[in-house]
Amino acid sequence: MARLDLDREMVKALLEAVRLSESVKPSQDAKRRAFKKYGFLGGKRDPLLTAVFYGVMLRLGIHDNAIRELDGVEPYILDPWLRAALRLLLEIVQFRDPSRRTFRYLRNTVASMLSAKTHPYVGMYYTRLYDRIITTGYRYKPKTSMEELEYKYLLPAWYVEKVRELLGNVEADKLLRSLSSKLPLSVRVNTLKTSVEKVISELEKEVGRVERSSVVPTILRFHGPYNFEKSTLWKKGYIIIQDEAAAVAPLILNPKPGEVVVDLAAAPGGKTQFMAELMKNKGIIYAFDISRERIRRMREILRRTGVGIVKIYNEDARKAPDILGENIADKVLLDAPCSSDGTIMKNPDLRWRLRWEKVVELQKLQLELLEAGWKILKPSGRILYCTCSMLREENEDVISMFLEKHPKAQLVKLEKPYSPGFIEGTRRAWPHKHRTIGFFYALIVKQ
């Protein structure tokens, strides 16, 4: 393998991307923003820098353990720029083969940048730690069984144990290892504006081989990098960034032209757009979300793709029955807020933000949203509950509690796609089995 040879601007772009990743989510948006600023986005150096960036994200928890060992402090009390610099340094020193030039820029350029962004003392502090790491040949090694688990799977130890409880050690090992791999890019063709065949023809000219999904025929996969901001297909609304498992949800719910549909956690709008597409842009979709920024992105997606049947509410979806009334919807989609652990392959830094306490909080919210969806659903109407979580607590356990409370709620038995869930009639997409993000689906009819 060639040595990692970075120039001054490349080091600065990486440091800024790692720093931004703490405040800009998902982390690939932070990467794109920083790489664009320094002129690397979509260029020949983009793949190399992306590999280093994702390496940092993949091993955030490992690097933080090393910072604790080196400095005796919790990383999150450090200045954010210093924290980002140490994470980048540890990634390159311990997991790459840096050239002498790279070492020089990692010391001097980063120290100067820290001094300028924060305070000269921060730059001096970093330099002392840099010299200590380099002169001693420091390498982090796990000290406890918990740290060994985290080092092996690059995941929090509690999460590893949860997955083992769910799947058993052998199957869990396959899943956990798969979460450190990278999925190809995935887009869905907008048939309101074009055809799959036309998009494949254009994409192949840009990226080479394009694979068409056998599960969702409008989903296309290909290997990046791909600059969507410069893509004519994307600008014209011919393609939408969406994973296959996410696109399956609207297909299961199957909204029809002329129906009243409610999307209870809609932004940034990929599934909302697909439902409008399935409805031939006829009917009405009421879309709820609490995030102004995500709603801004949803409006842009809907505008670009030619959708005109969506009424957006910047409101907590638990208020939907008060806003819309009860028994008004033919179909309800609840892609519930969740831990999102099923998307770790796309968002590698997410793994280190997983907290068991948060899962418990989310389960309560998921049940409350499901209750709201139930109230607005007409008799004989259908509600699809889905998440991009793989934890039973956010999926089958929520459905079990809901069904126990509502005698008129009945699961519609799903025969496909993917694998059966842990309650008969539900389905699950698994990253290690289906080459997609993790997803759960439960379709309920109001008798």
Domain annotation covers residue 297: yes
Within-domain flag for 280: yes
For residue 197, is it within any domain?
A: yes
Residues 206 and 329 in one domain: no
- What percentage of residues in the chain have a pLDDT greater than 90? 95
Task: With respect to residue 2, please indicate whether it lies within any of the assigned structural domains.
Answer: no
Residues 23 and 41 grouped into a single domain: yes
- Per-chain mean pLDDT for the chain: 96
**Per the residue annotation, which of 84, 370, 388, 390 is the catalytic one?**
388
CATH code of the domain containing 53: 1.10.940.10
Q: With contact defined as beta carbons under 8 Å apart, do 216 and 188 qualify?
A: yes
Q: How confident is the model at residue 194 (pLDDT cuts 50, 70, 90)?
A: very high
> Looking at the domain assignment, is residue 3 inside a domain?
no
Query: Nearest Cα to 11, choosing from 121, 117, 122, 88?
Result: 88
The range of the structural domain enclosing residue 391 comes to 244-446
Could you tell me the CATH number of the domain that includes residue 228? 3.30.70.1170
Q: Is 386 a catalytic residue?
A: no
Residue 289 three-state SS: coil
253 plus 359 within the same structural domain: yes
Q: Do the Cβ atoms of 343 and 350 come closer than 8 Å?
A: yes
Residue (of 325, 443, 321, 330) closest to 380 by Cα position: 330
State which amino acid sits at residue 220.
L
Evaluate whether residue 270 is within a structural domain: yes
Closest residue by Cα to residue 14 from 81, 67, 65, 104:
81
| Omega of the bond leading into 225 within 30 degrees of 0 (cis) | yes
Q: What is the per-residue pLDDT across 219-262, written as a single tens digit (0 to 9) for each?
A: 999 998 888 888 999 999 999 999 999 999 999 999 999 999 99
Cα 402 from chain centroid (whole Å): 27
Is residue 185 within a helix (H) or strand (E), and if so which, with residue range? strand 185-189
Shared domain for 172 and 110, answered yes or no, is: no
Q: Identify the domain boundary among 197, 213, 241.
A: 241
Q: Do 269 and 235 share a structural domain?
A: no
**What's the CA gap between 303 and 297, in Å, rounded?**
10
Does residue 397 share a domain with residue 285?
yes
Q: Could you tell me if 318 and 436 lie in one domain?
A: yes
Q: What is the pTM of this model?
A: 0.93
pLDDT in tens, 27-69: 989 999 999 999 999 889 999 999 999 999 999 999 999 999 9
The domain boundary, picked from 178, 202, 228, lies at 178
Q: How far is the C-alpha of 62 from the C-alpha of 142, rounded, in Å?
A: 9
One domain for residues 14 and 41: yes
- Please, what's the b/e burial string for 295-322 (b: 16 or more CB within 10 A of its CB; e: otherwise)? beebbebbebbebebbebbeebbbebbe
pLDDT for position 1: 57
On whether the CB atoms of residues 345 and 182 are closer than 8 A, the answer is yes
Number of domains observed in the structure of the chain: 4
Q: Is 248 left (phi over 0), alpha (psi -120 to 50) or beta?
A: alpha
The answer as to whether 1 is a domain residue is no
Are 72 and 54 within one domain?
A: yes
* CATH number for the domain harbouring residue 263: 3.40.50.150
pLDDT for the residue numbered 42: 83
219 in a structural domain: yes
Identify whether residues 268 and 369 lie together within a single domain. Answer: yes
pLDDT at 100 over 80: yes
In sign, the C-alpha dihedral spanning 85, 86, 89, 90 is: negative
Q: Between residues 133 and 225, which one has the greater pLDDT?
A: 133
DSSP state for residue 179 in the 8-state scheme: T
Indicate if 414 and 268 belong to the same structural domain: yes
CB-based contact 286:324 (threshold 8 Å): yes
Amino acid in position 417: P
Residues 192 and 158 in one domain: no
Contacts of 358-367 with C-beta under 8 Å, sequence gap 24+, read 359/391, 359/393, 359/394, 360/393, 362/336, 362/337, 362/338, 362/394, 363/393, 363/394, 363/397, 363/398, 365/336, 365/337, 366/336, 366/337, 366/338, 366/394, 366/398, 367/398, 367/401, 367/402
